Amino acid sequence: MADDKKSEKPEKKKKPRKPLYEVKGDTVTRVNPHCPKCGAGYFLAVHKERKHCGNCKYTEFAKSQ
């Protein structure tokens, strides 16, 4: 088989990811909060109704107003 097909992967639509940092002037602000258990460096994944730490599984639910 000389005609070896190269791996044809179906093109996935990449969702635009939210940047973790927001730069305002000279200040860099972290968009996502960091984990209270793991400390700075471990960001919480922000979902609709909750924030979740992928490291220690800490989950913080959004308070309903």
Residues that bind Zn ion (CB under 5 A): 35, 37-38, 42, 53, 55-56, 58
What sign for the dihedral angle of Cα 16, 19, 33, 57?
positive
Nearer to Zn ion, 2 or 46 (CB): 46
Q: How far is the CB of 58 from Zn ion (least distance, A)?
A: 4
Q: Are 44 and 33 in contact (CB under 8 A)?
A: yes
Q: How far is the CB of 40 from Zn ion (least distance, A)?
A: 11
- What's the closest the beta carbon of residue 42 comes to Zn ion, in angstroms? 5
Which H or E element spans position 42? strand 39-46
